[in-house]
Amino acid sequence: MEFLSINPYTGERLAVLSAHEDRHIERALERAADMARIWREGGFAPRAAMLRAVARLLRERLGAYAALMAQEMGKPVREARAEVLKCAWGCEFYAEHAEGWLADEPVPSDAADSRVVYEPLGTILGIMPWNFPFWQVIRAAAPILMAGNTFLLKHASNVPQCALALEALFRDAGAPEGVFQTLLVGAERVPALIEDARVRGVTLTGSEAAGRRVAAIAGGALKPVVMELGGSDAFLVLEDADLEVTLDQAVRARFQNGGQSCIAAKRFIVHASLAEAFSDGLAQRIAALRFGDPLSEETDLGPLARADLRDEVIGQVQASLREGASLRLGGTIIPGTYAGMYATLLTDVTPGMTAFDQEIFGPVASITLAQDDMHALTLANASRFGLGGSVWTRDVVRGEGLARGLECGVAFVNGMVKSDPRLPFGGIKASGLGRELGVQGLRAFTNIKTLWIG
């Protein structure tokens, strides 16, 4: 098997890499398991020193890593730089806070001394997506490593150069052999990796379908999982929202990273009294987005990561139009590009349409009208997904009430949904289970052990 690295803007073949052979995989598993026994006993200081070194190298290599992401998956280089810097922040954050968050917790009981202790599990397999090829990996690996586990990365097949660059990053930062390793393997090798006794847990960010397959395998092997899957986040615009601020954030919330984000605002649920103003304002802002070469500083919107993914999104737009949605702008392929499509706005979208019911992983915004707050909340929750959601209003008390009613794992008031190392991140329903980030994510792959001393 070969892994192709293709520039999604030009279609140029950047690299061809061979999949790792069985003996390489076996050695990696052995190294990870052997190092797990050592890494857990070394304490927090060497783990923190390693992550701080990773953060330093991320900043030193900012331009190179941003260019790699721009070329390999089409992320605009300005956004790629922000991603690298966020990775550095995440590493430094866990280097600083992990020891305190994993400290023993005394609990009064009938014992002379009873407490909860957090112990590492061993080797954790990370199955990661292409859309944030550095951040998705770092946000999983940093807390896992600080908890005393080792990490095996199975990255998306279309970003193999990013996958190998991450392994080299940790090696250059002084990570001992076996702490962080990349496996260039296809999806067909994943079941055996999950079932291997040396792998003690699995973290996945990916599609709903992939999550269901991995959860079934991990469940059969009785191994813990954390899964962040698809999303169809609602963006609720109440009639008292600051329209200009809301529109500025709306275009960013939907079209950042080419709309290829699980927490992108995919369904704009707008009070009917604002229908015309919001639709006009959003259309103007979408039309102003500059499509182009991801390596250009002027580019706002790059191509989708692969041509087949672009074609899938085009198909979802066309299906929505057949079902009764209206096309305000966009909706077609950009000629002369390998995987480009015009930023798209759909109106008159209602439940039952593809744009409402499915996750559209690309530059497509849809507007659905609501008559009042309860109607807006009902529409927002009429989804099998439950990752994030936001409410936009000048009345923050009203906004908080609606945010509390959203069936999702991450709810924001007057802010676009984002991940933050300080706060737990994840979804419910078909958007996954478990939590990354925050203290909850740090403890996700630990043995939460009761220690009772009489």
How crowded is residue 109: how many other Cβ atoms within 10 Å of its Cβ?
11
Active-site hit among 208, 228, 407, 436: 228
| Separation CA 293–CA 443 (nearest Å) | 41
216's CB contacts (< 8 A; 6+ apart) are none
**What does R_g of the chain's alpha carbons equal in angstroms?**
22
Catalytic residue check, 262: yes
Catalytic residue check, 92: no
List phi, psi (to 5°) of 345. Answer: -130, 125
Residue at 352: amino acid letter? G
List phi, psi (to 5°) of 76. Answer: -55, 140
Q: Which two tokens stand for residue 230?
A: 């698809």
| Separation CA 437–CA 93 (nearest Å) | 10
Q: Write down the residue that tokens 């999604």 correspond to.
A: 8
> Can you name the residues that pair with 365 across neighbouring β-strands?
345
- Could you write out the DSSP letters of every residue in 394-409? S-HHHHHHHHHHS-SS
Taking alpha carbons only, the member of 236, 231, 254 closest to residue 368 is 236
With b meaning 16 or more CB within 10 Å and e meaning fewer, what string describes 114-148? Answer: bbeebebbbbbbbbbbbbbbbbbbbbbbbbbbbbb
How crowded is residue 332: how many other Cβ atoms within 10 Å of its Cβ?
12
Active-site hit among 91, 162, 262, 408: 262
| Separation CA 147–CA 418 (nearest Å) | 24
Active site residues: 228, 262
